[in-house]
Amino acid sequence: MNLTEKRNIPISLPMTGIEEWEATKEPLMSGWITSGPKVREFEKIFAERHQVKHALAVTSATTALHLALVALGIGPGDEVIVPAFTWVSTANVVLYCGAKVVFADVDPVTFNIDPVDLKKRITSKTKAIIPVHLFGLCADMDEIKKIAGAIPLVEDGACAAGAGYKGVPAGALGTIGCFSFHPRKSITTGEGGMITTNDDRLADLMGMLRNHGASISEEQRHHGPRPYILPDFNLMGFNYRMTDLQGAVGVVQLKKLDQYIDEREIWAAYYKKELASVEWLRTPSFGKDYKHGWQSFACFVDESKAPFSRNEIMEKLQEMGISTRPGTHAVHMLNFYKETYQIKASDFPGAQAANDYSMAIPLHNRMSSEDFEYVVAAIKAL
């Protein structure tokens, strides 16, 4: 591979095109642009793919998580356990409800919540646990369920559409599942999210909560016998509805989900094989029980063996046209949480290590074989 011919390889690019563009014509021409028939179609096929009874489309994974906690009755005086290494919104939604965030450490190999540390964090005030399926790898849900007992589990599957654990799809492993369709995810609707559950009561409640608390949806009212009569509002809700423009794109994208994951799986295997000889770089490792969704290919830089620090490596790769990112951040190390809860970085050593030494390299469906070869050659050249 010729490294003198510099390439430009983004960390991620959405795989969208003419089909998605054409899909938006129907809602635009029909005039039904807000949440309606296309959102319902998207929800139906998402529920089928993830083997759940209910799927409810919302504006983001953040609002999905918020609705999940509200529906579970989380409020002041309650505690919710979240992994210390995750995107900040996993913790923020707990504060939206007036509850207390309790961090648990993560396993720096899988980057997911450490069940041993989780067990230490449970108290009589623990009213929910949010296991995160980070980068598309499901958390150890069997062990987490044993530890949690009757405590509800809200899966943060923002990165995990199409992923699975022991043959069960993400989103069907806990009480409620939450997904993201941000452009960095394997399928996208621009912004957008989905909630999954097998609980009829929770599904009905979250359906009302996402629509201001209305007793029926706008579409139901519009097509009912008296569309001019406004619905009743029996609870305080939010405006977290997905639009039919997004739903139309989601329908097209979801039909390609497994194809996208299969393609990423092939190139993830290529990375693992080709980078095995780089002694300072640990690539993703997991057992046969897991179907990885490959939202990201997050590695771990061993600075004791590396020629440069993690940040210097990222800078040198950027100079060669290769975008990288830290896997994500340790939330307990962010100023707001550090000051609010008086936490030290070393209080959660697994999350601290993941924060300081994780590095995601490009893995997406717009990459060519030459792009992957270039990334491997560049890393080896260091």
Instruction: Give the catalytic positions in this structure.
Output: 185
Token pair listed for 3: 């490294």
Rounded CA separation 195/42 (Å): 12
CB contact at 8 A, 360 and 324: yes
Token pair for 14: 């959405």
Alpha carbons 350 and 333: distance in angstroms, whole number: 12
- Tokens in use for 176? 């409620």
Residue 58's φ and ψ, nearest 5 degrees, are -140, -175
Query: Which CA distances in Å does 5 have to 2, 321, 374, 377?
Result: 6, 10, 10, 12
Dihedral (CA of 149, 150, 156, 160) sign = positive
Within 8 A by CB and 6+ apart from 232, the residues are 214, 215
Comparing CA positions, the residue from 263, 275, 249 lying closest to residue 377 is 275
**Greatest Cα pair distance in the chain:** 72
